[in-house]
Amino acid sequence: MTPPLLIRELDTLAEYQECCEIQEETWGRGFSERVPAAILRVGQKIGGVTAGAFAPNGRMLGFVFGLTGVRNGRLAHWSDMLAVREEARGQNIGEQLKHYQRERVLQLGIEVMFWTFDPLVARNAHLNINKLGAYVSEYVEDMYGSNTGSTLHGSIPTDRFVAAWELRQPFTPRRDADVPLGTDPAIPLLNPLDDHGLPVFRSSHASTVRVQVPLDAATLAAQGADHPLRWRLAVRQAVVPLLRDGYALTRVVRAHEGSLPYYVLSRTPDA
């Protein structure tokens, strides 16, 4: 059994500095968007959350950081960063940190939380949509620019989904949300692969569609220099018009029996 974690807000300068180290381990030493220790600390003074997940031996395995403000006239919390050390991934630590953050934010009277995630990273989408019950509120093109200095981002545009999590809305994770349904093959796929394994956009006016994403976005460049950008643009071309026309991202299906992960988007009744 995995030893229990201790999740709590950070307190000492050494802990804030450890958060900075985890950022660099995750996004690279040249990451320009790193949040410094001073901001991690000051954020807590104005309703922000900076919390760590600690192993029984005291080692920090991951952290979450967010700030509180006003969005569209409503008090809101923006979860800016969540990272888990490579040695501790696959243990649901990110999910536990998110739930801790939710409880802390609710205590402040805040009922909605926002954050961004990369549309090309299916594992993050699975956590956010299938397990937490957040929804995609918008698609932002090149949100952080294409020169963040991160080894993860590379040089392609940093397109992001904005996730919105209604914190008081009851949600029960669906056990089968990440596996294909028997009817899925009949749903139009908007970005099938060509003979070179690259996605090609095809439009459809169906009320429910699929958009696939790469198996592992972090290793796309190894498949060919143009692969990361082709995937970015194909998913952008498919998803942006759908969200504008009233479609909602309802399900994330992870890789299954040789197939790539994909999103299922459906037109909402009040579109």
2 vs 65, residue with greater confidence: 65
pLDDT band, very low/low/confident/very high, at 218 (cuts 50, 70, 90): confident
Question: What is the model's pTM?
Answer: 0.90
Domains and CATH numbers, the chain: 6-166 (3.40.630.30), 184-267 (no CATH)
d(CA 243, CA 159): 14
For the chain, percent of residues with pLDDT exceeding 90: 76
pLDDT band, very low/low/confident/very high, at 271 (cuts 50, 70, 90): very low
Q: What is the pLDDT of residues 73-125, one digit of tens each?
A: 999 999 999 999 999 998 999 999 999 999 999 999 999 999 999 999 999 99
Backbone angles phi and psi of 76, in degrees to 5: -145, 160
Question: Mean pLDDT score of the chain, rounded to an integer?
Answer: 91
